């Protein structure tokens, strides 16, 4: 009997610590702690719930992504009356960009709460944003729309959403450079090729030419990353001519 009591005391103690950690992050007391346990469980543990369904953060990540999009879209719709559909879509994309969500997840130290069967240093950088979205999904499952909306306002909109700054924020230098070239009726070409050299990991190089003149070159672990780096360098080379706000 003593051994059984110790097991339950240990579980209760762990739940109490986890409860306190979650409460500190979300700003209110969780009702159903299971929702948050799911939000911080990685698929590598291969856990199942009582119905045999996978128990990890991926479904909550999907729900949180939808919640973020809806709440931020509603905010922008109400606050920016001059914005048409294209403008509002781009502004929402800037708020919920993967880079920004990763930043939010890191600031809240969400990875510290994650449970996984693999070392945390092996996770890609997007784990931070994935956990943030899963947390939003968990709040919605636990306390409903109003609590999730309040959390998004407190953690995302109020501290980070400044319309004027967002208008000048670039989320894709490649898209910006392409739009600028098209507006100026100039040709452009991203010439990508494998360039691993002595690297163990495969790398690619990209030469960006505008009007048949090479303006930037960059290297990355994927063609997409190399193209974005090259476009960013081209942007800074022409930043006195390219105004991001013109393409919002």
Domain locations in the chain as residue ranges: 2-167, 173-247
For residues 153 and 165, the model is more confident at: 153
pLDDT tens digits, 127-161: 999 999 999 999 999 999 999 999 999 999 999 88
Superfamily for 2-167? Answer: Ribonuclease III domain (1.10.1520.10)
User: Is there a catalytic annotation at residue 103?
Assistant: no
Label residue 245 by pLDDT band (50, 70, 90): low
Cβ neighbours of residue 177 under 8 Å, at least 6 residues apart? 188, 208, 231, 234, 235, 242
154-172 b/e with 16+ CB inside 10 Å = b? ebbbeeebeeeebbebbbb
- 2-167 and 173-247: identical CATH topology: no
pLDDT tens digits, 181-205: 998 999 999 998 888 776 667 888 9
User: Is there a catalytic annotation at residue 167?
Assistant: no
Instruction: For the chain, give the mean pLDDT.
Output: 87
Domain 173-247 listed as CATH 3.30.160.20: yes
pLDDT tens digits, 52-72: 999 999 999 999 999 999 999
Q: Which of 37, 38, 61, 133 is catalytic?
A: 133
Q: Which of 65, 142, 167, 227 is catalytic?
A: 65
């Amino acid at each position: 009997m003593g051994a059984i009591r110790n097991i339950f005391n240990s579980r209760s103690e762990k739940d109490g610590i986890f409860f306190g950690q979650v409460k500190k992050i979300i700003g209110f007391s969780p009702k159903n702690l299971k929702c948050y346990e799911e939000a911080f469980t990685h698929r590598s543990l291969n856990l199942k719930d009582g119905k045999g369904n996978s128990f990890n953060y991926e479904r909550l990540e999907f729900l949180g992504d939808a919640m973020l999009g809806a709440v931020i879209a509603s905010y922008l719709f109400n606050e920016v009356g001059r914005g048409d559909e294209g403008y509002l879509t781009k502004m929402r994309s800037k708020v919920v960009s993967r880079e920004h969500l990763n930043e939010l997840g890191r600031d809240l130290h969400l990875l510290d709460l994650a449970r996984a069967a693999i070392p945390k240093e092996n996770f890609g950088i997007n784990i931070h944003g994935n956990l943030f979205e899963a947390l939003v999904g968990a709040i919605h499952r636990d306390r409903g729309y109003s609590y999730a909306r309040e959390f998004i306002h407190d953690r995302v909109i109020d501290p980070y959403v400044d319309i004027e700054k967002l208008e000048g924020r670039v989320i894709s230098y490649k898209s910006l450079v392409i739009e600028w070239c098209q507006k100026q009726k100039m040709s452009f070409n991203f010439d990508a090729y494998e360039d691993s050299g002595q690297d163990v990991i495969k790398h690619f190089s990209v030469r960006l030419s505008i009007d048949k003149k090479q303006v930037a070159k960059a290297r990355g672990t994927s063609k997409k990353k190399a193209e974005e780096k090259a476009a960013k360098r081209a942007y800074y080379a022409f930043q006195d001519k390219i105004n991001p706000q013109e393409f919002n």
